[in-house]
Amino acid sequence: MSAETSTQKSTGGFLSAAANIFSSVRLAVALIALVSLICSAGTFLPQMKPYSFYIERYGGFANLIFLFSLNDIYHSFIFYFAVAFLCLNIFVCTIRRLKGRVRALSYTGETSPEKHIAGLKYICSVEDFDAGRLAAFEKKLKMAGYRLYTKTIESGTAGYAESGRYFFIGEQLVHLSIIVIIAGAMIGNIFGYKTYARLYPGDTYKVPAARYQLLRNELEKLVARSRETGSDSHTAAGELLKKLEAERGKELFSLKVTDFTTEYFPAASPDTAEAHVKNWNTRFTLIDEGTEKFSGVISVNSPLRYKGVDIYQSSYYKAQDRIKKLILTAVYNQKSGPARSETLEFKNVGDEQSLQDGKYKFRLASFVPDFRFDPESREIYSAGDTADNPAVKLVMTDSLANGTKQVWLFKNIKGFADSTLNESGCGFTIDIENLEISGREGSGLQINYDPGAGLVWFGCFLITCGLFMSFNISRKRIWYSFDASRKNIIAGAVTNKDCPDFAAGFARLFEFEDAAGK
């Protein structure tokens, strides 16, 4: 039995000590200072830069920056640790204060209030105070919103009146709101995402689920770091690709762009040639679960909000990524005699042309305005919107061999496809003779998904209510002792908000029109 009691005391002592630590004001100040320091570091230390940037600027400290995730400090374990402990500190402090406040609700006054009254700030003693005046005094207290508790004592009556006894709800709401706001911000920070999309009329963008986008962001960081450092990331990338594949098709909804227009301010004068952009408008149709829900317009000051996703009009693009006319020249390999050639003309991606009476068919598969190739991911992409290094991909079908082969042609590199065609035994070479490109305007949209935004707004509502209650509800307490034999009363009062109005109101409680207290 004694061992069990000893264990209970030990456990209770440990919990009490832990509660004292986590409710400490010093700890709260230290944690707030730590969070402020981390936020300052996130301001002065450039974020989300490539590894080479930190090596060039900070030298050997770049490895420490990546080790502690200081390059993405608001997603680092240091930031999460500091914020989590700050919330714990606020929570423990709130619970401890709340326990004291709740216990105080059972207080109903003193049996002998004279000694207690002597130590109060506001004191009033009135002689010639009979039972009629006492009744009038107590009626005034009730009319003023006080809850009254009375006890019959040997000399007369002891009373305690209290107004605003639930004043502490305001301060508790403020504490709770801080935790709710931080929780909402952390949920958005961990499970939300921000991405950008470049869309042209006719394009459909599938707004990804949070899990898919987070995995994609992680894969992009891994590939970028591997490219910078030369490390082998195939194993880790393979695992991420498997997870991505499992999440594919779980988009939140789809956005089909039907049109994009640019509005301009009217020219100041006929001589002014330069036009200034007034607004960008992206017309869209929203598709959810295969059904067109509604259509609308996204503009600079009018975002789309749907299923917790905010889509903003961020920018616009003018790209030269459409073929107006493509003319290819096929030159046959001949050892003697005049050179023989044929011309193939394409006007759109997907067009087909043939050579040698249909023996070889060529389909224009794609066009890349500024060709680039990533050897790490083996991805072909366009480095920009202008046609600085234009390339086209053809799919060649050999009707006799019943096979296909991809053929890349470059405007700036003649004979690039010669080796591919020679291996196929075609007996001819192909090059770009003429390439005409048409431009088009596209919309730049910013997609934000923040699942914690609702909590943040709820926290703002709580803090508004809490501050309103804290500023407008005060706790007022009055103790009094009425001596029936001496016909006198002594009363004392205190409030948690010292103001002249309370002192004047306290004095008016003892003002009566006549001796009867009426």
Instruction: Tell me, letter by letter, the H, E, C secondary structure of 366-420.
Output: EEECEEEEECCCCEEEECCCCCCECEEEEEEEECCCCEEEEEEEECCCCCCCHHH
Q: Quickly tell me which residue has 């019959």 as its tokens.
A: 152
Structure confidence by residue, pLDDT tens digits, 454-480: 999 999 999 999 999 998 888 999 999
Tokens linked to 120? 């109060």
3-state SS assignment for residue 11: helix
User: Measured in whole angstroms, how far is the alpha carbon of residue 23 from the centre of its chain?
Assistant: 29
How much of the chain, in percent, has pLDDT values that exceed 90?
36
Mean pLDDT in residue range 363-384: 83
What is the torsion angle, in degrees rounded to the nearest 10, for the CA atoms of residue 355, residue 357, residue 363 and residue 367? 30
**Hey, how many other C-beta atoms are within 10 angstroms of the C-beta on 359?**
13
Q: Are 179 and 90 in contact (CB under 8 A)?
A: yes
Could you give the count of Cα atoms lying within 13 Å of 71 in the half-sphere of its Cβ? 19
Mean pLDDT in residue range 32-45: 90
46-50, 214-218, 508-512, range with the lowest pLDDT = 214-218
pLDDT confidence tier of residue 104, bands split at 50, 70 and 90? confident
pLDDT confidence tier of residue 511, bands split at 50, 70 and 90? confident
3-state SS assignment for residue 161: strand
Amino acid at 131: A
Q: Using alpha carbons only, how large is the chain's radius of gyration in Å? A: 39
Distance separating alpha carbons of residues 135 and 127, to the nearest angstrom: 15
Is the per-residue pLDDT at 286 higher than 80? yes
pLDDT confidence tier of residue 7, bands split at 50, 70 and 90? very low
**Which residues make Cβ contacts (< 8 Å) with residue 400, sequence separation at least 6?**
359
Could you confirm whether domain 114-165+474-508 is CATH 2.60.40? Answer: no
Distance separating alpha carbons of residues 69 and 65, to the nearest angstrom: 6
Distance separating alpha carbons of residues 286 and 250, to the nearest angstrom: 16
The H or E element containing residue 35 is helix 25-44
DSSP 416-464: TTHHHHHHTT-SEEEEEEEEEEEEEEEEEEEEEE-TTHHHHHHHHHHHH
The pLDDT of residue 80: 92
DSSP 236-300: HHHHHHHHHHHHTT--SEEEEEEEEEEEEPPPSSTT-----EEEEEEEEEEEETTEEEEEEEEET
Distance separating alpha carbons of residues 344 and 461, to the nearest angstrom: 68
Q: Are 509 and 147 in contact (CB under 8 A)?
A: no
Return mean pLDDT, the chain: 85
Could you give the count of Cα atoms lying within 13 Å of 120 in the half-sphere of its Cβ? 24
Is the per-residue pLDDT at 214 higher than 60? yes
**Which residues make Cβ contacts (< 8 Å) with residue 375, sequence separation at least 6?**
none
**Hey, how many other C-beta atoms are within 10 angstroms of the C-beta on 342?**
15
Query: Sign of the CA dihedral 400, 406, 412, 413?
Result: negative
**Which residues make Cβ contacts (< 8 Å) with residue 405, sequence separation at least 6?**
395, 396, 398, 420, 424
3-state SS assignment for residue 358: coil
Q: Are 199 and 442 in contact (CB under 8 A)?
A: yes
Q: Are 206 and 254 in contact (CB under 8 A)?
A: yes
Mean pLDDT in residue range 309-327: 88
Q: How far apart are the first and last CA of the chain?
A: 66
Distance separating alpha carbons of residues 331 and 94, to the nearest angstrom: 84
User: Measured in whole angstroms, how far is the alpha carbon of residue 409 from the centre of its chain?
Assistant: 45
Distance separating alpha carbons of residues 493 and 491, to the nearest angstrom: 7
